[in-house]
Amino acid sequence: METLALKADLVQQPRLLKKRALQAVPLVAFFPFLMIIFRVFESHSIRIGAAVLVSLLVTGAVLYAGIKLGKYRLITGMLLILPMYFCMCVAVTDFPFFASKTVMTSFENSLSPNAEFFLGTDYEGRDILSTIVIGGMNAYLVAAFATIIALITGVPTGLLLAQNNRIVRQIASVITQFFEIVPQLFFVLIVLGVFNFWAAASASTRLVASYAVPMAGFAIGISSLPAMARVVENRVNQLKSKRFITALQSSNVSPRKVLFYNILWKNSLSEIIVQATFLFGATILVESALGYAFEIGFGELGTGGYLSWGKILAEARRSILFVENLWIVSSPILVTIMSILGVNIIGDTLAGILRGES
């Protein structure tokens, strides 16, 4: 008996390790927000050095976990998102320093990369490295905010879709189908366009900038509701027919406890985390596309007053059209592609772990 128990433990250990790796994803994703504690240091060099060092330690721990799991695609995804992750960490640590270098006409226009400006300056006379850092931070914030909104709205909607009450299910179905029918980019463009014009007319520039990032996250997150809701709905419907759920329902266990603890928390959390990871990557793409579209179609009012990688590309489109000063567009294009690919690879790897693939 002891031998059988030992074998069972050995079989369960890799599964538990994989499940813990899945559940640790949100902790790693929201870790950069803790970098604000390094603002206690007065020296810019110490702030940035501390942020980079801690970020490298966290990244190293995640890469080590990926090696232990034998998930080398996870390592590839982590390496691809490192530029964006570091942008978020250092921007949170010393935002004023980088923001001061993104003011238009601060420096000479179109300087090629040199010792002072590692990535050169753009057509607006801004340090490209600083615009990448601030734009990466904004993209990360929008993606994080959108993911949270999708979770807050999508999970309850998915639970309502799986209810036996026909009226409740129909109401949730109408809400879900609305966002499935209306194209996401079209919906977000309208919401942000109306909001940004209103905000620009009624608030100062500083307030427009502070409102625009969470508003963009809210619009993208609420329009991502169906993706999260369908995952929760399918998972709840699958588990309802399981024997252990039926046994719990036939006992004195509260139906709410069965739904929220046994079904949602214990047996659906991993699927929700995987879906949230994919939504995070999709939001980066949507946010960049929005920044590009707003800059071309709405001008300065439409951008909401904040830098994004898409806005940077739109402002430097002359570099692509006339094939000149390609260093201005190469960096934002590279980091955008790397970030989207990296997050999608991580999500796909986590989904493989969930399915029990080796």
Q: How confident is the chain (358 residues) per 10-residue block, as mean pLDDT?
A: 39 53 72 88 89 88 80 87 90 90 83 87 89 91 93 94 90 93 85 71 57 86 94 92 83 85 87 89 86 65 67 81 81 90 87 70
Degrees (nearest 5) of the Cα angle 277, 278, 284?
95
pLDDT digits (tens, 9 = 90+) for 285-340: 888 888 877 776 654 444 455 788 888 888 888 787 777 888 888 888 899 899 98
Q: Among candidates 338, 346, 353, which has minimal Cα distance to 139? A: 338
Residue 107 resides in a domain: no
Count of the separate structural domains present in the chain: 1
Neighbours of 73 (CB within 10 A): 13
Residue 58 resides in a domain: yes
Question: In the structure encoding, which two tokens stand for residue 9, read together?
Answer: 């433990």
Residue 109 resides in a domain: no
CA distance 250 to 15: 29
CA distance 332 to 25: 26
Residue 156 resides in a domain: yes
Residue 47 resides in a domain: yes
Residue 108 resides in a domain: no
The answer to whether 156 and 168 have CB atoms below 8 angstroms apart is: no
At residue 11, the pLDDT reads 39
Residue 114 resides in a domain: no
CA distance 232 to 83: 32
Contacts of 240 by beta carbon, 8 Å cutoff, 6+ apart: 162, 263
| DSSP-assigned letters across all residues of 187-252 | HHHHHHHHHHHHHHHHS-HHHHHHHHHHHHHHHHHHHTHHHHHHHHHHHHHHHHTSHHHHHHHHTT
Distances (CA, A) of 252 to 41, 165, 238, 241, 272: 56, 21, 22, 18, 28
- Domain extent at residue 242: 2-102+122-355
At residue 21, the pLDDT reads 60
Cβ burial of 355 (10 Å; 0-12, 13-18, 19+) is exposed
CATH of the domain at 39: 1.10.3720.10
Question: In the structure encoding, which two tokens stand for residue 31, read together?
Answer: 């870790």
CA distance 340 to 320: 21
Helices (H), the chain: 2-23, 25-29, 44-69, 72-93, 95-100, 128-161, 166-181, 184-202, 205-223, 225-240, 243-250, 255-257, 266-297, 299-302, 309-315, 317-321, 327-355
At residue 326, the pLDDT reads 84
At residue 3, the pLDDT reads 44
pTM of the predicted structure, to 2 decimals: 0.86
Residue 302 resides in a domain: yes
DSSP β-bridge partners for residue 127: 121
